[in-house]
Amino acid sequence: MTRNKSQIKVKSRIPYLGLACLVIFFFTVGFAELISPHDPYDGDLINATLPPFWEEDGMIGHPLGTDMLGRDVLSRLIYGSRISLLISVGCITIYGTIGVILGLISGFSGGRTDMFIMRLADFWLSLPGIIVLFMIAAVTGPSAKAIILTIGIMGWPNYARIVRGECLSLKQRDFVKLARIAGCSNLRIMFSHILPNIVNTIIIMATIEIGGIIVLTAAMSFLGLGTQPPSCDWGLMLAEGRQYITYAWWLITFPGIAIVIAVLGFNLTGDWLREVLDPKQKLR
């Protein structure tokens, strides 16, 4: 009876709003060519800064209006979702891999190895990310690559700390002791026995952090340190439209709404996954 109540409680917390936001986001990513009314890079100066279709002088062919070069805002938003997802996945792949490997080594080995990796993580967290971004941008030039490298290099300590904590707990379990008795190597124990038991934690962290990366990516592009024109990056669209805010409000409003929808979807879904997949949350 208690178990049924718990299942009903978890089901009642299903983030329908978050899932709806994610459905919209991934639909635009997967079917951008089909649903985009125009090429996002084609401009038409005759139809520059057209308002949305429901306003006077608006055109139904450009539902959300056009920018200062006559490019369709809706088409650029749709293709911009791909850039946001690509950068987010690239960042998480880099720092997630580094953090998981170092966290496993730190938690499993203990002693001086553990101390060295954790002090390295403390040092890494003390580095100012904006300075590192300037340095990487100076070497590679402002681009999506610079964003991926910066966030990928700077983000691993959080993963390493959490994985280390999980590893410290799991390595005391009976299945790890039995693996030692069976003659398994330390490498096999870490990646074949311990790692599968922390996959849920990694999935939860990745889902929640994608939203933060989308915001950070937009901020970097807004500052001119990320993707460059004519990219459809949402942050770049905000930067290009801010000087027209007094008479072309749609140039910054719709990219802002797109960022909110994506971040809200990942955050709400990540919180729900934490309740469903984390045993500690279930016990609570």
Q: Supply φ then ψ for residue 63, to 5 degrees.
A: -55, -40
**Given a cut of 60, is residue 8 above it in pLDDT?**
no
pLDDT given at position 145:
85
3-state SS class at 260: helix
Kindly give, in sequence order, each residue whose CB lies less than 8 Å from that of residue 237, ignoring residues fewer than 6 positions away: 67, 73, 76, 77, 80, 251, 252, 255
Strand partners, 66: 72
Over residues 65-114, the pLDDT tens digits come to: 999 999 999 999 999 999 999 999 999 999 899 999 999 999 998 889 99
The mean pLDDT of the chain is 86
pLDDT given at position 281:
53
Sequence letter at residue 153:
I
The token pair that represents 240 in the structure block: 């290009």
pLDDT given at position 279:
56
The token pair that represents 137 in the structure block: 């941008």
pLDDT given at position 118:
93
pLDDT given at position 136:
80
Over residues 145-191, the pLDDT tens digits come to: 888 888 888 889 989 999 999 998 888 888 888 888 888 888 888 88
Q: Supply φ then ψ for residue 200, to 5 degrees.
A: -60, -45
- The CA-to-CA distance between both ends of the chain, in Å, stands at 17
For domain 17-283, give the fold: MetI-like fold (1.10.3720)
Name the pTM for this structure: 0.86
Helix then strand count (H, E) for the chain reads 14, 0
**Given a cut of 70, is residue 117 above it in pLDDT?**
yes
pLDDT given at position 33:
92
The percent of residues in the chain predicted with pLDDT above 70, rounded, is 93
Distance of CA 74 to the CA centre of its chain: 22
Query: Quick one: which of 232, 222, 219, 211 has its CA closest to 83?
Result: 232
pLDDT band at 226 (very low <50, low <70, confident <90, very high): confident
Strand partners, 72: 66
DSSP of 5-45: HHHHHHHHT--HHHHHHHHHHHHHHHTHHHH-SS-TT---G
